[in-house]
Structure 1
Amino acid sequence: MKFSLLFALPAALKCLVVSAAVTVPKSTGDYSEHLHLKPLPGGYLYAGFNFTATTPLADYHSQNFRFFPRSLGQILQNSNTAELHLRFALGRWDDEQWGSRPRQGRREGGTGVEIWAWLEQKDGLKSVDQRWDSLVNSLSGLFCASLNFIDGTKTTRPVLSFVQEGNMEGSFELLHGALPNEVVCTENLTPYMKLLPCKGKAGISSLLDGHKVFDANWQTMSVDVRPICSSNSDCILEIQQTIDMVLDIERSMRPQDNPIPRPPPIEDIECDMSKSYNAEDTCYPKKQEGEIAWSLSRIFGRPIQGNCRFGVEGEELWDISLEVPQGRAADIISASTIKRTTSVDGNVRLCTLAEDSDLDISLPQQSLPSHLSLEHPPLYASRQLTGYGQERGGMHAILRNPHPFSKQVVYLESLPWFLRPYMHTLTVSGATLEKMYYTPSIDRQRGTHLELLLNIPAESTVDLTYDVEKAILRYTEYPPDANRGFDIPSAIIRILPSNNSTSSGLQVQDQQGVYLRTTSLLLALPTPDFSMPYNVIILTSTVIALGFGSIFNLLVRRFVLVEEVPISPLAIKVQMFVAKAKEMIENLGGNVVTKGGGNNKSNKLNSVEQDEREKGRVPDKISEYRKSR
């Protein structure tokens, strides 16, 4: 976006435009990046990474990929997906302390993995459900996630909660799925980075490290693909990847060689001299005043390495924006000459990245007379399970509107089939229920879809409650950690756009509105004692083995005396072989006359025969062999 246009915008829109950093793409396709930094109260830092790539729609259909990732494009073409939105999230955004959510909540998802997409409906194609299964299975392999577990029981078809962001012509069907128990980790970040042209080697993506990203208090990754058509019918396909995180500044700057927090030596502690001390080894640490000193290289472990911008010509784009008070000192360190500027109100510092040098931003410790005012969120929302016992319970959601004007809100619940709501107990107090869309669940086939359109009055609190019943699962349907419980997806709240002004004067007139998501819930179901089936199986197997084994031996075995057992033919052959071997050895050494007369060979055979006669088992073959000799 050109800087002249940025100055022409209202003051309240500057931060929004800078944080989004969405440029108008050209027909030939381009790629741009943007990083937005904003210190938050309590010693936290918000870092928003934005990566945008475009390609002409004609090149996309002809398999001519330039900046658009080919691996993702072929998956979308195979499943005939027109628009895709994918989210990976962990942690919780603190509305009370950090204010409104970044990007108006449109680029964040519920805890775990969330996906929704518009699939084309056309004659000659496979069914939408088959192509949806193909899409989630392919994305599961691409992002190393468990998206393949999103089946019919975890899929819903919302009506009011989502609208198309792109310009599409034709008939499409919206499908939505979520996996709240998915653990987002480094194995999801690595394939995510491979979709970028520079793959984390240059540009702002060089700051992204798994140890830093997943050590954040709140973190979300998103992938959004949408077609955009201009007035002259030039259509492009845009992919926008964003990573938003809130870092604890003090914990992130902890050195990697000393990750465990240890008390520093007393000589390194600044003591509060206003207190009295009884000994020299006693010290009350002085409370730190003002803003914490930090830098990009200390928080992320490295500076920004060069830039990564392709295909953008004739436009003045800013790669980094730092939102701090006007009196806050900030040093932008770079070996090359870079462009820098400041917004009209002085609260946003903008700069570009050089191609051949690193860039670092350092802010010293400083006390400020005033701080940036946080924008209040448009709505506060919370949700919890009520009741006791493992058979029945309830759901209770609280929505609070702190503004002096009413709001229209869409409330979406996607419940698993084993949590059965009683819709006759649904009560909404403090708001007007205008519409309701409800799809009942089918055991082991489909979950519950509940969508409510509410009109919340100004400065009011809404209580939404209903009773639920907890189903009893088959013992094979329980996970290995059955006693932990089952995760319930977050409730999605969409605040519809209106012409009313928020506390900061921002006019919300776009079609999307503002999105909020509650935290996920942990549901305890009736769980059998899995140690008892184990004990029963072991005891039953032991009894069967003993009983069957004894009866089988009595039926098939024949018991005889030891004297009745004939000598084994194999033993006869072994004895004959031993006797023959000894005879050959004696023939080589000559006949040796023994004391009793005769040769050694005859004595050996006589001894064998005598032993067998005493046992009553003289082998005929040995006797015949002796006579033949």
Structure 2
Amino acid sequence: MNLISSLFILIVTFFSPFASCFDNVSESLTLRPLTNGDWLLVLDVSIVSKDLKYLFENPEDPHFFMDSMPIDVAKLYVKTKSNWFEANLGFGEWKDTVWGDRPEMLITNGLSLVGCWQFLDKKVVRDHFSTLCYGLWGVTGTMFSNLVSQESFIHDVTHLYANDYENNSKRTFTVLLASDFEDRACLDALYKLRMIYPCLCTNGLVSVLGDERLFVRSSYRGINLRVERVNNDLSFKARVQFTVPSSKLPETFSGFFPDNRIPRVCLTTSESIVNLVYPNSLRSQNYNSTSFNYMDPKSRELLDDKYQQLKLKFKNGYELIGTSSELVYEVSELESRYLRVLKRVQSSLLIKVANLSNQYKKVCVHQPLPYWLKPLVHSLNVVVEYMGENITLYQCKAADCFARNSASSVNFNLLTDTMDRLLPYRFHPYLHAIINLFDPVPNLPTSTNDPLIIYELGNNWNQFGIYISLPPNSVMYLSAELSKDNITYEDIHLAAHRGQLIPAGLLLDLSNLNSCSSYDSPYNFKALSSYSCNHYYYFLTSFFSHIVLPDNTMIFNVMAAVGAVSALLFGFVFNTLTKDWEKSLNVP
């Protein structure tokens, strides 16, 4: 008996240091009614693996205990050496006029990936970003590899954030972001997601994804995956949100799960919460969302009654009191304003951004364009007006819009542009300081309302956009003529309507981003998260550009000529071989 007790104590003593290394898993399900009677379901899952260590100080050989953490996700995070990364899969656009208040995390249509790296060179970061895209392709089954193809543009968020030519502070972080609107969250992504969730979505609140019909039939659905290190612990967060039409709402809370049964508690979870919440615009100051501890049997028994009460109260929806949207945007290709030609020859690009909040908003609009789509500077026009009123707050045209750009010798300097391309990025601030010292530019009259224009022509992409401060309840119109030339078959994907879908641009809410990234010091993006900093970036809508290929006439003429010659040659040979058949066969 003493031997058994001693052996038991020895085993407990040996494994006690690892007792804190097992994963901590929590889940929550939030249900919220919408303005038209539909409901929004949000499933949050958090998995934390404690004490991430490296064997023999080799970053390629991590050592950490885990029982619920997806091992492929953990390996991918360590291999790419990122501080954090977020992957989004969305289907459908959120419509404020239909559903009302936006979700806390707005997941746009298509695929997107954003990642953060520190103390790494730009080229190394881009290599890690490519590895991350291909790795997520295998984990999620969705074509994240398209984000690093030639048809996709990768935005440098940190460069756009600090590119105001006013602060040359050393930036140690690099945040890259890319999107693709052609691939969306579908059933295959849900199958892959269920394989990395706790209990394989058979027990616990995660089993709401066990019946894929609710997810697939939703007109708006989104998936967000985030991986990061928090206090040396590896953290994995996953959020799935989708709308359920009012006609598909079950009578009881158990109807959201397979076989209309309340699932059993997932044994690997340490916390399981169900939240039934009022719409954001109808909440009072003293209102708290009704939360239920799903692991408590008595609390689970109350779910059906509370759900039916909330469903009955909002069965016909409700009237939206206010809107939670702060920025509204629109991108479109219009007929040319100067030439009476088809849009396939020359068109006009119009970008509209409206500030619906009661505060000033400093925004950055960054629209990448293919090299054959060139914005014409002399046609540039920027107008800022009050919404609903014909009161112009600011307006500039053509070269007048470049007042802030010309205030620094960094701009329009051939030597600076050449050295920027040759030297590593970390030397750029010192180079700009030296050039400003020996080649100063006279101070031009500028005002705080003057925008900063983004205009850069490249071999593969042309970058076009603007930095501007928008007053409350104002709208900005940015327009420019687009010249279309030097188009070849090799560089485009011609659609049936003789055009190409242009990748979506990026809209940065610099005011919100600055408040989220400056807790410790400027340009601190280590703790930046969509969970803590909502809506700091938006993807502008893609637009379809009609084009005419200048070299298609010769190609089609050559093909037609070859076809005609082949047909004549075939006819000649056939006639020569068959004209004497009747004589040789003695046909009467």
TM-score by length of 2: 0.65
Could you tell me how far apart the structure 2 residues matched to 1:63 and 1:117 are?
A: 23
Counterpart of 1:425, as a letter, is S
Could you tell me how far apart the structure 2 residues matched to 1:159 and 1:308 are?
A: 39
Could you tell me how far apart the structure 2 residues matched to 1:498 and 1:121 are?
A: 24
- The answer as to 2:503 corresponding to 1:486 is no
Could you tell me how far apart the structure 1 residues matched to 2:64 and 2:491 are?
A: 43
Q: Aligned pair in 2 of structure 1 residues 511, 403: CA closer, same or farther (>3 Å)?
A: closer
Counterpart of 1:131, as a letter, is H
Could you tell me how far apart the structure 2 residues matched to 1:413 and 1:27 are?
A: 46
Structure-1 residue corresponding to 2:324:
376
Structure-1 residue corresponding to 2:380:
426
SS for the counterpart of 1:377 is coil
Could you tell me how far apart the structure 1 residues matched to 2:100 and 2:313 are?
A: 23
Per-residue displacement from partner, 1:207-240 (whole Å, max 9, x unpaired)? Answer: 1243321322222111112222xxxxx3222221
Structure-1 residue corresponding to 2:206:
205
Q: Tell me by how many angstroms 1:386 deviates.
A: 1.3
Q: Tell me by how many angstroms 1:186 deviates.
A: 0.7
| 1:520 aligned to which of 536, 542, 559 | 542
Q: Aligned pair in 2 of structure 1 residues 295, 440: CA closer, same or farther (>3 Å)?
A: farther
Q: Aligned pair in 2 of structure 1 residues 425, 54: CA closer, same or farther (>3 Å)?
A: farther
- Conserved 8 A contact 1:400-1:461: yes
Per-residue displacement from partner, 1:568-625 (whole Å, max 9, x unpaired)? Answer: xxxxxxxxxxxxxxxxxxxxxxxxxxxxxxxxxxxxxxxxxxxxxxxxxxxxxxxxxx
Structure-2 residue corresponding to 1:93:
94
Q: How does 1:117-516 map to 2 (within 5 A)?
A: 117-119=115-117, 122=120, 127-149=124-146, 150-160=148-158, 171-208=172-209, 209-228=211-230, 234-250=231-247, 252-253=248-249, 295-298=252-255, 302-308=260-266, 310=268, 312=270, 319-324=273-278, 345-346=286-287, 348-354=289-295, 361-363=307-309, 365-366=312-313, 373-387=321-335, 388-430=342-384, 432-442=449-459, 446-471=460-485, 473-475=487-489, 479=493, 481-483=495-497, 485-497=499-511, 514-516=536-538
SS for the counterpart of 1:101 is coil
Q: Tell me by how many angstroms 1:40 deviates.
A: 0.8
Could you tell me how far apart the structure 1 residues matched to 2:246 and 2:498 are?
A: 33
Could you tell me how far apart the structure 2 residues matched to 1:310 and 1:343 are?
A: 36
Structure-1 residue corresponding to 2:441:
none
- Conserved 8 A contact 2:332-2:349: yes
Q: Aligned pair in 2 of structure 1 residues 366, 140: CA closer, same or farther (>3 Å)?
A: closer
Could you tell me how far apart the structure 2 residues matched to 1:440 and 1:522 are?
A: 21
- Conserved 8 A contact 2:513-2:536: no
Q: Tell me by how many angstroms 1:305 deviates.
A: 1.6
Q: Aligned pair in 2 of structure 1 residues 68, 532: CA closer, same or farther (>3 Å)?
A: farther
Could you tell me how far apart the structure 1 residues matched to 2:474 and 2:467 are?
A: 16
Could you tell me how far apart the structure 1 residues matched to 2:223 and 2:488 are?
A: 35
Could you tell me how far apart the structure 2 residues matched to 1:90 and 1:471 are?
A: 34
SS for the counterpart of 2:200 is coil
- Conserved 8 A contact 1:181-1:487: no
- Conserved 8 A contact 2:362-2:468: yes
Could you tell me how far apart the structure 2 residues matched to 1:39 and 1:416 are?
A: 42
Could you tell me how far apart the structure 2 residues matched to 1:499 and 1:223 are?
A: 20
Structure-2 residue corresponding to 1:336:
none
Could you tell me how far apart the structure 2 residues matched to 1:47 and 1:243 are?
A: 8
Q: Aligned pair in 2 of structure 1 residues 80, 398: CA closer, same or farther (>3 Å)?
A: same
Could you tell me how far apart the structure 2 residues matched to 1:98 and 1:172 are?
A: 37
Structure-2 residue corresponding to 1:288:
none
Q: Aligned pair in 2 of structure 1 residues 120, 194: CA closer, same or farther (>3 Å)?
A: farther
Could you tell me how far apart the structure 2 residues matched to 1:145 and 1:177 are?
A: 15
- Conserved 8 A contact 1:163-1:512: no
Could you tell me how far apart the structure 2 residues matched to 1:171 and 1:415 are?
A: 28
Structure-2 residue corresponding to 1:592:
none
Per-residue displacement from partner, 1:135-193 (whole Å, max 9, x unpaired)? Answer: 222222322222223225523242458889xxxx9955333222211143111221122
Q: Aligned pair in 2 of structure 1 residues 39, 353: CA closer, same or farther (>3 Å)?
A: same
Structure-2 residue corresponding to 1:283:
none
Q: Aligned pair in 2 of structure 1 residues 408, 318: CA closer, same or farther (>3 Å)?
A: farther
Q: Aligned pair in 2 of structure 1 residues 128, 354: CA closer, same or farther (>3 Å)?
A: closer
Could you tell me how far apart the structure 1 residues matched to 2:543 and 2:254 are?
A: 37
- Conserved 8 A contact 1:425-1:467: yes
| Structure having the larger proportion of residues in helix | 2
Counterpart of 2:86, as a letter, is H
| 1:35 aligned to which of 29, 51, 62 | 29
- Conserved 8 A contact 1:117-1:174: yes
TM-score by length of 1: 0.61
- Conserved 8 A contact 1:33-1:308: no
Q: How does 1:570-581 map to 2 (within 5 A)?
A: none
Could you tell me how far apart the structure 2 residues matched to 1:379 and 1:480 are?
A: 33
Structure-2 residue corresponding to 1:21:
none
Counterpart of 2:76, as a letter, is I
Q: Tell me by how many angstroms 1:39 deviates.
A: 0.7
Per-residue displacement from partner, 1:19-56 (whole Å, max 9, x unpaired)? Answer: xxxxxxx9864111111111111122111121111223
SS for the counterpart of 2:135 is helix
Q: Aligned pair in 2 of structure 1 residues 492, 325: CA closer, same or farther (>3 Å)?
A: closer
SS for the counterpart of 1:182 is coil
Structure-1 residue corresponding to 2:58:
none
Q: Tell me by how many angstroms 1:204 deviates.
A: 2.2
Q: How does 1:63-102 map to 2 (within 5 A)?
A: 64-102=65-103
SS for the counterpart of 2:286 is coil
- Conserved 8 A contact 2:100-2:320: no
- Conserved 8 A contact 1:322-1:348: yes
Counterpart of 1:156, as a letter, is I
Could you tell me how far apart the structure 1 residues matched to 2:25 and 2:228 are?
A: 15
Structure-2 residue corresponding to 1:114:
112
Larger Rg: 1
- Conserved 8 A contact 2:345-2:548: yes
Q: Tell me by how many angstroms 1:390 deviates.
A: 0.7
Q: Aligned pair in 2 of structure 1 residues 343, 140: CA closer, same or farther (>3 Å)?
A: same
Per-residue displacement from partner, 1:485-541 (whole Å, max 9, x unpaired)? Answer: 43333333232446999xxxxxx9x76664444433233332669998876664454
- Conserved 8 A contact 1:325-1:372: no
Structure 1, unpaired ranges of 5+ = 1-25, 229-233, 254-292, 329-341, 502-507, 554-560, 563-629
Could you tell me how far apart the structure 2 residues matched to 1:199 and 1:484 are?
A: 46
- Conserved 8 A contact 2:453-2:465: yes
Q: Aligned pair in 2 of structure 1 residues 161, 245: CA closer, same or farther (>3 Å)?
A: farther
Could you tell me how far apart the structure 2 residues matched to 1:211 and 1:126 are?
A: 43
Q: Tell me by how many angstroms 1:322 deviates.
A: 1.0
Could you tell me how far apart the structure 2 residues matched to 1:493 and 1:180 are?
A: 16
Could you tell me how far apart the structure 2 residues matched to 1:118 and 1:49 are?
A: 25
User: How many residues end up aligned between the 2 structures?
Assistant: 451
Could you tell me how far apart the structure 1 residues matched to 2:272 and 2:52 are?
A: 29
Could you tell me how far apart the structure 2 residues matched to 1:513 and 1:411 are?
A: 15
